Structure 1
Amino acid sequence: MIKTQSILKVTDNSGARKLMCIRVLKGTTAKVGDIIIAVVKDAIPNTQLKKSEIVRAAIVRTKSPIHRKDGTTIRFNENAAIILTKNNSPRASRIFGPIAKEINKIGLKKISSIAPIII
């Protein structure tokens, strides 16, 4: 569960390394598939994203467990997000690491189409 002030790792090639959540859209906590407003805390030099830039991001991995209807539970080792544009398409062209299957159900199909592994 992601709250405000939570630090997330960026798992795409947009140029940012770490994000800090400053607003959760539609609720107080964010789960996998939710969209947040975040600020870039660490960025790779000479890239399109700079430190202290405000962006939209989609949560793709969380440390808190995800309970599915078939009885399985999935838990990742880190909190991770992907940076989005204003129309909810990914800003980057590559995604690193696995993403949860719940991303497909929410309507972010462009993210799942470029993901290497869907769990």
Structure 2
Amino acid sequence: MLQERSICNVADNSGAGRVMLFAVNGKNNTSSARIGTIVVGSVKKASPIGKVKKGQIVYGVIVRTRAKTQRKDGSSIKFSDNALVIINKANKEPIATRVFGPVARELRELGFNKIISLAEEVL
């Protein structure tokens, strides 16, 4: 579970390396983000040749968390890092052309099919 001011790795080739979260969209009493949550953050580390620059405000969807995620079939999954994919605010499509590392299959149920199709591995 991620909260405000958490640092996430970026799992795509948009040019960003790390993003600090400062808003969790759709939060109610809990201010934590789980897999599939749309978040707003600031780019803290970026490549000089990329689509996003350091300090830019970006929207992203969480694709991996270190916290355990309980699935409907009773199993649970946790990843080795916290990661997100940067998306376009208007149509919720990724701005990158590749997604690195595994992503959770819960994204398919939430309608992020483009991220699933770009991912190397779906767990």
TM-score, normalised via structure 2 length: 0.94
Cα offset, 1:116, TM superposition: 1.2
Report sequence identity in percent.
Answer: 42
The counterpart of 1:90, out of the listed 68, 75, 94, is 94
| Matched residue count | 119
TM alignment of 1:1-119, pairs within 5 A: 1-27=1-27, 28-86=31-89, 87-119=91-123
User: What letter corresponds to residue 8 of structure 1 in structure 2?
Assistant: C
Instruction: Tell me the C-alpha RMSD between the 2 structures.
Output: 0.7
Structure 1 unaligned residues grouped into runs of 5+: none
Cα offset, 1:32, TM superposition: 0.1
Structure 2 unaligned residues grouped into runs of 5+: none
Q: Which runs of 4+ in 1 moved over 3 A?
A: none
Task: Report Cα offsets for 1:12-53 as digits up to 9, x if no partner.
Answer: 000000000010001121100010001000001122211000
**Cα separation, 1, equivalents of 2:86 and 2:112:** 12
**Cα separation, 1, equivalents of 2:76 and 2:106:** 12
**Cα separation, 2, equivalents of 1:63 and 1:48:** 27
**Cα separation, 1, equivalents of 2:26 and 2:7:** 19
User: What letter corresponds to residue 3 of structure 1 in structure 2?
Assistant: Q
User: What letter corresponds to residue 55 of structure 2 in structure 1?
Assistant: S
TM-score, normalised via structure 1 length: 0.97
